[in-house]
Amino acid sequence: MLNKLNNATTGNLIIVSAPSAAGKTTLVTEVLRRDPRLRPSISYTSRPPRGGEVDGRDYHFVSCERFRELIDAGELLEWALVHGNYYGTGRQPIVDLCAAGFDVVLTIDVQGEEQVRRFFPEAVSVFILPPSFGTLIERITCRGEIDPGDLKVRMSNATVEVAMYSRFDYLIINDRLDEAVDDLAAIIHSSRCRRERRSVVAEQILQTFADASRSYSKLTT
């Protein structure tokens, strides 16, 4: 199944990872708004919705039991326990979107990135770093809804996560949002120009050369 995605006529996967509150949701939302060839992957999670989050738009919010059923049925491309809750990517929507030619953005944690890359090494991975630890704390406390226990877990996980940046293809420092959005859009654009992703169209162009040279040699003999 995944090899089928590995074809220049289908879309690609763009994995975006970052510690909590590094600004990845805002960044990804803006890039999705700009680029009609991109689609988001809507993850499943067992975490309850935060204020303003909508089921089916931000996440598919499910119970722990339902999440385990999805794992057992093999319906998830990857899944992980993050900050004490389950999160996972549905397999079939990704296959369908890529087959329709869309590039799909997966906003997932570092454990999920590792699983997706194992099956799909062509995926492009991007890590988002905040400019400093202090900025991260400021951004996470601005959300206002996190209890102190959750904040502690997220901060200690963030320290582990940022150390993983070196295994990603690209790194964005999210200091100024507009620059970070430009960076992510440029990464996605350049990934579409990779030679291996253009091999089908390249072969079609080369065929026009072969056809022309056959006609030309007929004319000159």
Q: Does 108 bind ligand 5GP (CB under 6 A)?
A: yes
Told to check if 82 binds ligand 5GP by CB under 6 A, we report yes
Q: How far apart are CA 118 and CA 48, in angstroms?
A: 29
Torsion angles phi and psi, residue 84, rounded to 5: 85, 0
Q: How many CA atoms lie within 13 A of 114 on its CB side?
A: 9
Residue 128 lies near ligand 5GP (rule: CB under 6 A): no
Residue bearing tokens 């630890």: 133
For residues 46 and 87, give the distance between their C-alpha atoms in angstroms, rounded to a whole number.
Answer: 7
Q: Does 62 bind ligand 5GP (CB under 6 A)?
A: no
Number of residues that bind ligand 5GP (CB under 6 A): 15
Is 113 strand, coil or helix?
helix
CB of 140 to ligand 5GP, least distance (A): 9
CB of 74 to ligand 5GP, least distance (A): 15
In the complex, least distance from residue 109 CB atom to ligand 5GP, rounded to whole angstroms: 4
The smaller minimum CB distance to ligand 5GP, of residues 78 and 183, is found at 78
Q: Select the residue interacting with ligand 5GP from 11, 23, 40, 88 (CB under 6 A).
A: 88
Q: At what angle do helices 133-142 and 148-162 cross, to 10 degrees?
A: 150
- Please state the closest distance from residue 171 (CB atom) to ligand 5GP, in A: 16
